[in-house]
Structure 1
Amino acid sequence: MSSTLHTSKSSLAPSRLHLAIQGILLASALTVSAPIHAESSNGHASIKRSYHIGGGSLSQALRQFATSSGLLFSAEATLTDGKTTSGLDGEYTIEEGFRKLLAGSGLTYSFTGEDSVAIKVVDSGSNAASTLPAVTVLGKAVYDSTDPFNPDYNRSHASTATKTDTPIMETPMSIKVVPRAVMDDQQIVLFDDAVIRNVSGVQRNFDFGDLYQGFIVRGFSLGANIYRDGLRQNTGYFEPAGMERVEVLKGAAAMLYGRTQPGGLVNYVTKKPLDKAHYSLQQQFGSYDLYRTTADATGPIDDDKSLLYRLNIAYSSNNSFRNYNENERIYVAPSLTWRLSDQTEMTVQLEHQHDDYVMDFGIPAVGNRPAQVPKSFFVGDAAVNNSSMDSNQIATIISHRFNAHWKIEHKFNWHEWTHEFNSIFPAGSINADKQTINRALMTGPTDRESFATNLDISGEFDTFGLKHKLLIGGDYFKLTTDTYDNHWTYGVIPALDIFNPNNHMLDANAINAVPNDFWWQEKDQWYGVYAQDQITLWDKLHFLVGARYDILDYGTGCCSEPISIDDREDNRLNPRFGIVYQPWEWLSVFGNYVESIGTNNGLTPTKTVNKPEVGTQYEIGFKTEFFDGRLSSNLAYYHLTKENMLTGVPGLPYRIPVGEARSQGIELDLTGELTDYLSLLGNYAYTDAIFTKDNDFAPWGMTSKQGNRLPNVPEHSGSLWLTFHPDERFKIGAGMFAQGQRAGNNDNTYELPGFVRVDAMVSYNWKIGGSKLTTQFNVNNLLDKDYFRGSRVQDSTGALPGEPISFIGSLRLDY
C-alpha cells in the first residue's frame, strides 16, 4: 500500500459479498427516496448542504466532508499530516467547504473527475491567489476530539443518545459529555468521580460493601449496569486510564439499549488507536500512600497507516483514611485497528484488570444520622479482610461504509468477572442498645460472564424535501452469574461495639472451618430489534421517531444445592419520540416521550421472580451554543415514573416490589469556554423524587414507603469548576461540589447531611525538544469538610464517609 489517503473507486476491488450487500442496501434506499447526487464540478457546485464537522485533524475532516458530500478525494498523506482545521458547522457549497477546511493550510483542491477531488499544494505562480484566497487565521489551535493534547471541555457531538454522530443541538434528549481534558485537570483516579462531580442530577449508588461502581440518575439507581462503547457491562470497578470520554444520557434509553433503568445511561468511550504517534507516561502520588503509574502509547505500525495500535497500562496502590482498607490494581489494555480499505475498519481490544481491595460497609446509623464515630471506623475484622476481583474483556468493532450515505457497524464484547469474597458485613441495623451491631460472614467465589453484541445499519436519504437519518439494528445480551461454595453465615460472628470497636476478634482458621451454606445462580438475556428515523425539515425542525421490540428471558435461583432457577419471559414494545426546533443556530428547543423496561428482577421471599420494572418519561427543555460553539448549555424539566420498583427485604437476599415511584425536576448543565483563557463546567439539579404507590409490606415486617423520599437523592445539588490558562504552560483551577440533605434509606429513618466540598489544582508544563513535561498538584476537599458519599438504602447498616482533605501530585511526560 502507498502512503496515500486514497478513496478512489478502484483503490480496492470489492468482494462479491460487498457488492451483494451494497446492491441490496442501495435498492432499499431507492424504493423510499429520491437519489442523492453528489455535488460536483458539473452542475451542483452551487448547492448548499448542512455539515457538522468538528475541528481538529485536517485529514479526518476532509474524509468526513468528502463522505458527507458524496465525493471521492485523494491526497498524499505527507500533505495533511500534522495539519488542523477549524471544521465546518452550517450550510456550505463544495467550494465554500473546501476553502474553509483548507484555510491557512497552504493546500487547495481540484476536480479530477465528476465526483473525485485531489488535494494539492497551492501554486506559487500568478494564479495562486485565484485558486485559494488568502485567509488570516486568528485564535487558539484547533484540536481533534481524540487528540491527547485537546484541552477543550466542550463537545459538539455525541453518539450515545442516537447511536449516530448527531450534533447535541439537534438531539432531543439531555446528554452530557465529560471529555478526557476534564478528567486530567481534576486528576480523576475513580471513574465515578468523573461523573458525579461534573453531571447534573447524578449521585453515587453505594450498594453492598461498595462492591461495584454504580450511579443514581434522575432519582433512580442504574444498578450495576455501565456501558462501554455502547455495549452493556455488568458489575465492576472501571479504570479511567483507558477512557477517552464519558457520555451520560438522561432519561430512559431502552429503545436503543434494551433493559436499562429509566433514569438514564452512563456510557464510557474507550481510547482507540490513532494514526499519529503519541506516548505518555504519568506518575501520580498522593495522600494515604497513593502511588499510581499510567502509560499510554499509540500510533501507526506500518508506513501507509493501515495498522494502528494503542496500549494503556495502569498500576496503583493506596491505603485509606478508613481502617484496614488497602487497595491495589493492575490494568492492561492493548488494542489494534486494521484499516482494510478506505471503507472498512476493524478494531480489536483486550483488557485485563486485577483488584485487591477491601469491601467497605460504612458507618451505621444511630437515630436519624450516621453514628458519631471516627471516619476511620471499620465494621469488619482484620482476619477476614482481603477480597479480590479479576476482569477480562475482548471487544471488537467492525464498520464498513458502502458509500457516502450508508454504513454498517457490528460490535461485540465478552466480559468475564470473578470476585472472591472475604468479608464481615453488618447483619441488620444497630441493636436496641444503640451501641452494638450484629455481623455476618461472607466468603467464597462469584463468577459472572456476559456476551453483548449489536448490528446497526445507518443511512441518510431525502424524501419530498425531508432529510432522513435512518438507523435499523438488533442486539443480543446474555449474563450468567454463579455464586457457589459461599459462606453467608449469620450468628457465628460476635457483635461489634461501634464506640469501642475490636477488629481482631476472629481467627482465620476457625472461619475457614465453617461449612459452606450459600449458593446463588442468575441468568438474564434478551434479543431486541429496533428502528429509528431522525427527520429534518427546513433545517430547523428535527423529529426523532423510534421503537424497539424485546424478547426477554431471565431467572434466579437460591440458596442451597441443587439450585432450581425460576424462569420468566416477557415481550415488550418500547417507543421513543423526540422533537427539536432550532429557530436560530444558537438555540434549540426540545421535548421527548420515552418508555423503558428495566433489569432489576431478583427473587421474592417465596422464591418467585419479580416482574420487570417499567419507566415512562416526559421531558422539555432548551439548549444553547455561544462563541462559535465553545460554550453550551442544556436546561430541562422532566417527569419520570417507575412501576414495579423493587426494594430489598432487610436481612434476607430477596426483593419485593414497592409499587411506584416518581421523580421530577429541573436540570442545568453549562460547559465550555467563557473566554480564550477561562474554561467552565457548571451544573445544578432540583430533584423531587418520592415513592407514590405502596404494596402490602406487613408479611415481611416492613413499613409503608408511600410519600417517602427516594434514598441518596438530594433535592438540590450542583457543582462548579473553573480553570484559568493564560498561556499554554500555566493553568490554575478551583471548584465546588455540593449536595443537599438526603434520605439514608427507603424508610427515611435517617438522613445524610448536606455538604459543600471545595477542590483546587495548579499545573505547569515545559517543552523539552519535541516532548512536554507537565507538573500538576491537586487538592480535594480543601476545607476538610465532613460528608458522606452515600448509603446502603435497604436498611441503616452503613453510610460511606467522604475523604478528608487530600493531595495528588503528578509528573507527566508526553512525546
Structure 2
Amino acid sequence: MKRHNPIPAQPRAMIRALRKALVYMTLAGVPALAATPAAAQSAGTAADPQGDNLPTVTVTGSGSGSGSGEGKQHLQTQSGSGALGSRSILETPFSVTSVTAGELEDRQVLKLGDVFFGDASVSDNSGGYSAWASYITIRGLPADWQNSFRIDGKPFLSYGITLPYGHFERIDLLKGSSGFMYGFGTPGGLINYVSKKPTDTPVRSVGVGYTSNGILSESVDLGGRFGNDGMFGYRLNATHDQGETFNQGRIKRDAVSLALDARLTRDLTWDFQAIWQNSNSTDQTPSIVTTGLAGGSLPAVVSGGNRTLVGGGQHLDTNFQLYQTGLSYRITPDWKANLSYSHSTSKRFRNEGIATLTDTAGNYADWRSDSREGHVFDQWQAMLEGNARTGFLEHQLVLGASWQKQVNDYSVAQYYQQIGSGNLYTQNTNSHDSSTGLQTYHAGIITQQAVFASDTLKFSEHWSLLAGARYNQFRQDGFGTTGTRTSRYDQSALTPTLALMFKPEPNTTVYGSYVESLEQGGVPQIGQTNYGQQLKPLKSKQYEFGAKTDQQDWSATAALFRIERAAEYTLNNTLVQDGQSNYQGLELGGSLKLDRQWQLGGSLMFLDSKYKKGAVYNGNRVAGAPDMVATAQVSYLVPQLAGLKLMADAKYTGNTMLRAANDLQTPGYTLLNLGASYTTRIGKYDTTFRAAVNNLLDKRYWQYQYENYIKPGDPRTFSLSAKVDF
C-alpha cells in the first residue's frame, strides 16, 4: 500500500477536514477503528495509583441507558499507562481500545474474540470452551500467548485459560507500544484485564444466567469500605458456571477473586488482589490441520455446534491462580512511588483431538494429544512518577525497574498418536482415554531484568514530545527431561519509543510515534519437526501517525501504521525464522450520538501485509493477516419503556491466508449479534434483565485459528441473565 501523509499543511484546516470526514463516515455507516462499544462505569475510572493499568478508552453504550454522555469514547478519561505514567487517552500517542464491565454483561461473551468484536483491528481466532479461547490477531499479528496478557499490569500465561470476565472492571487493548511499556511482547498489542477494586460506595449484587445449550451460571459481587474513615476496602466476586455446551459437551467452572486495600496513612496505600479459577470441560471441537491439503481449497464448512467432529475422551482441565500486592506512596503532590510483586500459575491437563485433513472431501487422520503443562510467573517492579519544570519546559517523568521469571513445565512423556481416521461429515467414533501418571519437568526458564524511563516534554499548550526507552536483559534456558540444560539464549537490548504530539485545540490530538519491540520466538506446534524447541526472540519496529478528537456528541480516531517484524512461518513442516514480515494499515473509528435515543459506532481496518527479504515467499501476504475488517454498532433507548435498550452489532472479516505459501485461505464472513437490556426497580431493588443472541443467522464459516489450523466458527448461541443490586 502506498504510504502518504493525509494531514493538510495547516493544522486548523486539517482538524476541520478530519472532523467532516469522520462525521460523514459515521453517518454513512462506514465502520471505523478503535471505537469498541462500551459504557462508562462509575467505579474504577480514576487514575490507577500504581500506574499498572493500560490507558482506557470507554466507548459506545452499555448500562441502563440514561442517554447522558453514553456511548462516547471518553478520550479524556485519566488512566495509569504503565511506563508512560498517568495520562488521558487523548494524550496517549498510540491506539487503544477498552471494553467495560457493562458491555461484557450486555454481550454475554464466551471468549476473547467476543470481547473485542467491535474492534476492526482484532480478528477472532478463538473458540468457546477450548484451549484456543484466548487466541486473537491484532493488526494481523497473533497475540503472544506468553507475553501479551496482563492482569492489572502483572504478567500471566493465558494459553488454555478463559478468565472469568465478570470479575473485571474492563479489558484494555493497547496496540503497538507493548515492548516499551512492559518488555517482551508481540508488536500487535497487549491485553490488560483490570480487576474490580474496592469502591467508596457499597456494592451488593447477585446474578443468574443461562447460555445455550444448557449452561446455568450464578454470580455474587460484594464490595465496600470499613474501619475509621473507611480505612479498609474490599471487593469479592464469585462465579459458577455448569452445564451443556453448544456441541453437547460439558463445562464446570468456579472462580473467586478478592481485592483488598488499606489507606495506612494519608499518603501510603497497600493493596492486594487474588484470583483463583478451576475449570473442567469435555468434548471440545477439535482443531483441524490443513498441512495435508494441496488443492488450493478447503472442504465444505461444518457447523461449530455439530457433535460429529467430537471423539470420545477429550477434555480440558485448567487451574489458574494469581496473587499480587503492592505499596503506593505519595511523596509530594507531584511525585508518587510504588513497589509491587505478583505470582501466577497456569496449569493444563488436556486430551485434545487434532483432525489432519487428507483431502478436500473432508477425510482426515485422527490424532490425539494427551499432556500436562504448567507455567509460573513471578515479577517485582518499582516505579517513580512525577512532574517537574526546567525553564519553560514542563516534564512528566517516569522511572522504573523490574525483574521477572517465567518457568514452563511440559510432560516428560506426552501421548501424541494417530488413533484412527474419519470424515468431517460423519460421526467420529474414535476414542482415547487420558493417560495417567503424566509427570512434568522444567522445560524452560526465562528471566528478564529491565530498567525504563520516559519523559514527556511540554513545550507549549499545543506541542509536546514523548521520549522513552527500556533496557532489557533477557535469558532463555532450555532443559531436557533429566534436568540438563540443553540451550541458552542470552541477549540485552534497548527498545526506544518516540512520539511528537500536537493539540490544535484542547479536545484534539494529532501525533506521530515510533516504537521498537522484542518478543519471544515461536514455539513449534505438535507434529512439527522441531516441536519442543523455542525459537530465538524477534525484533520489530512500529511507525504510527494518528489523530483523536473528542467532541460533545461524537468522537473519532484515525491511525496509519507500519510494522516491520522478523518473519516466522512453517517451511517443510518446520517452524522457521526467515526474512521480514511487513504490515501497513489504516484504522478509522467513530462514535456518534444522534439524539437521546440513537447511538452509532463503527470501525474499519485496511491491511496490506507482505513477506520481504526472505529465502522464499517474498511478496506473499502474511499468514493470519486479513486484508480488511469492518464493524458497525447501533443502540436504541426505547422511549415508550424507560430502561429498555436494544442493541445490534455486525462484523465483517476479510479472507485470510492460512500459510505463507498463499495457496490456501479462509473466505471472508460476516457475523451479526443482537442484544437487549432492561433496567427496572422491583420492590426496593434495582434489577437488570439481559438477553443476547450471538451469530444471529447461525453463519457457518471456517475460522483462521493458527498457521495451517482452522476451526468451524462457533454456532448461534442464546444468553439470558438477571442481576439484582441490593
The answer on 1:399 being equivalent to 2:328 is yes
Amino acid of the structure 2 residue aligned with 1:341:
T
Asked whether 1:229 is paired with 2:161, we answer no
Residue 664 of structure 1 aligns with which residue? 584
8 Å CA contact 1:160–1:267 kept in 2: the answer is no
Residues 260/269 of structure 1: CA separation in 2 closer, same or farther (3 Å cut) = same
Determine the structure 2 residue equivalent to 1:741: 655
Aligned mate of 1:765, from 650, 667, 679: 679
One of 622, 630, 650 as aligned partner of 1:718: 630
Distance 2:143 2:386 in 1: 31
Q: Secondary structure at the match of 1:694?
A: coil
- Would the aligned equivalents of 2:522 and 2:534 in 1 still touch at CA under 8 Å? yes
DSSP 3-state at the match of 2:181: helix
Aligned to 1:199: 119
Q: Partner letter of residue 685 of structure 1?
A: M
Distance in 2, matches of 1:56 and 1:142, equals 13
User: Secondary structure at 2:109's aligned position in 1?
Assistant: coil
The answer for the alignment partner of 1:573 in structure 2 is 494
* 2: CA distance, partners of 1:517 / 1:474: 36
1:730 aligned residue (644, 661, 673):
644
1:277 matched to 2:202 = yes
- Determine if contact 1:488/1:518 at 8 Å carries over to the other structure: no
Counterpart of 1:494 in structure 2: which amino acid? G
Unpaired segments ≥5 residues, structure 1 = 1-53, 65-138, 144-149, 696-703
State the distance in 1 between where 2:203 and 2:81 align: 27
> For the Cα contact (< 8 Å) 1:677–1:726, is it kept in 2?
yes
Q: Which residue of the partner structure matches residue 720 of structure 2?
A: 809
Partner amino acid, structure 1, of 2:271: T
* Relative contact order higher in (CA < 8 Å, ≥ 6 apart): 2
Distance in 2, Cα, partners of 1:659 & 1:379: 41
Q: How does 1:372-521 map to 2 (within 5 A)?
A: 372=300, 374-375=302-303, 376=305, 382-426=311-355, 429-431=356-358, 434-491=361-418, 493-503=419-429, 505-506=430-431, 508=433, 512=435, 521=443
Gap change, CA 1:232 and 1:512, over 3 Å in 2 = closer
Do structure 1's residue 298 and structure 2's residue 223 form an aligned pair? yes
Which residue of 444, 447, 453 maps to 1:522? 444
* Root mean square deviation, CA, Å: 3.2
Once the two structures are superposed, the pairs formed by residues 56-67 of structure 1 within 5 Å of their partners are none
Structure 2 residue matching 1:304: 3-state secondary structure? helix
SS in 2 for 1:172: coil
Alignment-derived partner of residue 783 in structure 1: 697
Aligned to 2:8: none
Q: Deviations over 1:395-417 (max 9, x none)?
A: 12321111110001223221111
| CA displacement 1:717-760 (0-9 Å, x = unmatched) | 12122212256512111121111111223333322121221111
Match of 1:689 in 2: 609
Q: Secondary structure at the match of 2:114?
A: helix
Summarize the Cα distance change of 1:56–1:190 in structure 2 as closer, same or farther, 3 Å threshold: closer
Out of 606, 620, 641, which is 1:708 matched to?
620
Per the alignment, do residues 638 and 373 of structure 1 end up closer, same or farther by CA in structure 2, a change over 3 Å counting? closer
Structure 1 position 623, deviation (Å): 0.8
Q: Which residue of 2 aligns with 1:620?
A: 545
317 and 745 in structure 1: CA distance in 2 versus 1, 3 angstrom threshold: farther
Tell me how far apart the structure 2 counterparts of residues 60 and 329 of structure 1 sit (CA, whole Å).
Answer: 29
Map of 1:754 onto structure 2: 668
Tell me how far 1:332 sits from its aligned partner.
0.5
Which residue number corresponds to residue 12 of structure 2? none
Q: Which amino acid aligns with 2:250?
A: E
Q: 1:163 to 1:270 in 2, by over 3 A?
A: farther
Matched to 1:371, the amino acid is: P
Q: Secondary structure at the match of 1:583?
A: strand
Tell me how far apart the structure 1 counterparts of residues 44 and 485 of structure 2 sit (CA, whole Å).
58
SS at match of 2:414: strand
Change (3 A) 1:483 1:353: same
Pick from 328, 336, 348 the counterpart of residue 260 of structure 2. Answer: 336
Task: Tell me, yes or no, if structure 1 residue 353 matches structure 2 residue 277.
Answer: yes
Query: Which residue in 2 is equivalent to 1:95?
Result: none
- CA change 1:248–1:489 in 2 (3 A) is closer
CA distance in 1, matches of 2:666, 2:432: 35
- Percent identical residues: 21
Paired with 2:456 and 2:513, the residues of 1 have a C-alpha distance of: 13
Secondary structure, counterpart of 1:803 in structure 2: coil
Q: 2-side partners of 1:455 and 1:164: how far apart?
A: 13
CA shift in 2, pair 1:520/1:290, >3 Å: same
Identify the match of residue 371 of structure 1 among 294, 299, 303.
299
Q: What CA distance in whole angstroms lies between the structure 2 residues aligned with 1:268 and 1:58?
A: 15
Compared CA separation, residues 292 and 370, structure 1 to 2 (3 A) = farther
Comparing 372-381 with 334-343, greater Cα deviation is found at 372-381
Report the number of matched residues. 655
TM-score, length-normalised on structure 2?
Answer: 0.83
> Contact between 2:370 and 2:416, CA under 8 Å: does it hold in 1?
no
Q: Are the structure 2 counterparts of residues 421 and 785 from structure 1 closer, same or farther at C-alpha, using a change threshold of 3 Å? A: closer
How far did 1:267 drift? 1.3
The TM-score with structure 1 as length reference comes to: 0.74
- Structure 1 position 364, deviation (Å): 5.1
Question: Quick check: 372-381 or 355-364, which moved more?
Answer: 372-381
Call closer, same or farther: CA 1:736–1:60 in 2, change over 3 Å. closer
Structure number, greater radius of gyration: 1
Corresponding residue number in structure 1 for 2:563: 640
Distance 1:398 1:141 in 2: 38
Amino acid aligned to 2:330: R
**Partner residue, 1:103:** none
Describe the SS at the equivalent of 1:169: helix
Q: Give the corresponding residue for 1:7.
A: none
Are residue 154 (structure 1) and residue 58 (structure 2) matched? no
- The CA distance in 1 between the partners of 2:586 and 2:214, in whole Å, is 41
Letter in 1 for 2:242: S
